[in-house]
Amino acid sequence: MSEQTGGTLGQSSPNWAALDAPAVELAGNPLAGRDLLRLMDLTPQQFHMVLSTALYQKQAWRSDPAAGQASAPYQRQAVGIILEKPSLRTRVSFELAAARLGAHPVVMADSNSAFSRGESLKDTTMVLERFVDAIVIRSFAQSRVEEIAQWASVPVVNALTDDFHPCQGLADFLTAYEHKGNLSQLKLAYVGDGNNMAHTYLEGAALCGMQAHIATPPAYQPQPLYVQQCQELAAATGARLTVDSDVEAALSEADVLITDTWASMGAEAEHDERAAVFKDYRLTAESFKLARPGAIFLHCLPAHRGEEVTDEVMDAPCSKIYDEAENRLHAQKTLLSLLMAPASVTR
């Protein structure tokens, strides 16, 4: 489903200081039948809606999981989960998210992926959409996921590409929202590789009016086109985005500190070269002192302990990495519930 609006400029920012009524109780769900290929497919209001609803549903589930399971709204539906890259958190969280909604998860992974037999993306997608009610795809090129969305008449969700990781982004901003409150009053610092996570953090910060500072080595900065797009949105939401190589400036007075592996999937052969370049971008207990009191640490995992971050930070009380991993489930459950809803039905 390739035609959709998102990242609309010129709209007032939502009230991040308050937990709104859950979107599942609001009429006119604007995400019904939509795709999510990157966070900027959402408007600021829709981004807020997903996160506030996820937090509400997480709290409701924890207070009464039996009632949450009994009310699963998508019985007799199915979600196709296609994994062309290795996965732990993505696979488990999406399988459970679909199951808790009452839908049947159909997992196609590794050599048995839906696209493993050389059939065209169009043919496979147009067959698959006859069987399932949403397609979740973890792949390589962003253009591949975009083409699948072009042919599919059911919602398509990007579960990771080389350019974006919107579902991880939802979980990360949900974790910051849960622990730190009003996102528009926070500073996010990301240090390391200017990869898909850097792009996603810029998009999320722009959507919620947050201050974000991305610090990477000069040769590994985020793609200029994506930075420009985020800066344009930030002008409308009041976000302040900085991209440079200054680690100390990024960490200074930050509320949320984030890093990622220095050699992501597909760049493993560059590990030794990258380790030499990124050595000054390691997060340590000493560098954490630059942040604000009460700052939290996030990492999308898996982490290479001792490289991009020390054990002392990973295992400290400030580390919310396991909450963050759990929030993949809650954010994605909410996302699927909204995208899979009939446009004419209020849930």
283-310 average pLDDT score:
97
Instruction: Give yes or no on whether 23-164+328-339 and 168-325 have one common fold.
Output: yes
- What's the rounded Cα separation, in Å, for the pair 40 and 237? 13
| Average pLDDT value for residue range 255-263 | 96
Give the per-residue pLDDT at 309. Answer: 98
Q: Exposed/middle/buried for 141, CB within 10 Å: 0-12, 13-18, 19+?
A: exposed
Task: Return the higher-pLDDT residue of 10 and 264.
Answer: 264
Domain ranges of the chain: 23-164+328-339, 168-325
What is the model's pLDDT at position 263? Answer: 84
pLDDT of residue 325: 98
User: Which alpha helices (H) appear in the chain, and where do they start and end?
Assistant: 44-63, 65-70, 89-100, 121-128, 142-151, 166-180, 196-208, 224-237, 247-251, 271-278, 285-288, 311-314, 321-339
pLDDT tens-digit map of 136-185 = 999 999 999 999 999 999 999 999 999 999 999 999 999 999 999 999 99
Specify the fold of 23-164+328-339.
Answer: Rossmann fold (3.40.50)
Contact 282, 308 (CB under 8 A): yes
Is the pLDDT confidence value at 67 over 90?
A: no
Specify the residue for token string 């997992």: 107
How confident is the model over 81-99, as pLDDT tens digits? 999 999 999 999 999 999 9
In the predicted model, is pLDDT for residue 11 greater than 60?
Answer: no
For the stretch 92-134, pLDDT in tens is: 999 999 999 999 999 999 777 888 888 999 999 999 999 999 9
- The catalytic site residues sit at 138, 165, 168, 260, 300, 328
Q: How many of the other CB atoms lie within 10 Å of CB of 179?
A: 17
Per CATH, the number for 168-325 is 3.40.50.1370
pLDDT score at 240: 98
Taking the model in full, what pTM does it have?
Answer: 0.93
Q: Are 162 and 142 in contact (CB under 8 A)?
A: yes
Indicate the pLDDT class of residue 1, thresholds 50, 70 and 90: confident
pLDDT reported for residue 21: 47
pLDDT at position 176: 98
Nearest to 319 by CA among 332, 337, 300, 334: 300
* pLDDT number for residue 15: 73
pLDDT at 236 over 90: yes
Structure-token pair, residue 327: 């929030």
- Rounded to the nearest integer, the mean pLDDT of the chain is 91
CA–CA distance, 34 with 213 (Å, rounded to integer): 30
d(CA 150, CA 260): 31
Query: Which tens digits make up the pLDDT trace of 322-346?
Result: 999 999 999 999 999 999 998 644 3
pLDDT tens string 47-58: 999 999 999 989
Q: Exposure of 130 by Cβ count < 10 A (0-12 exposed, 13-18 middle, 19+ buried)?
A: exposed
Across the beta sheet with 256-259, the strand order is 240-244, 211-215, 187-191, 256-259, 296-299
Q: How confident is the model at residue 27 (pLDDT cuts 50, 70, 90)?
A: low
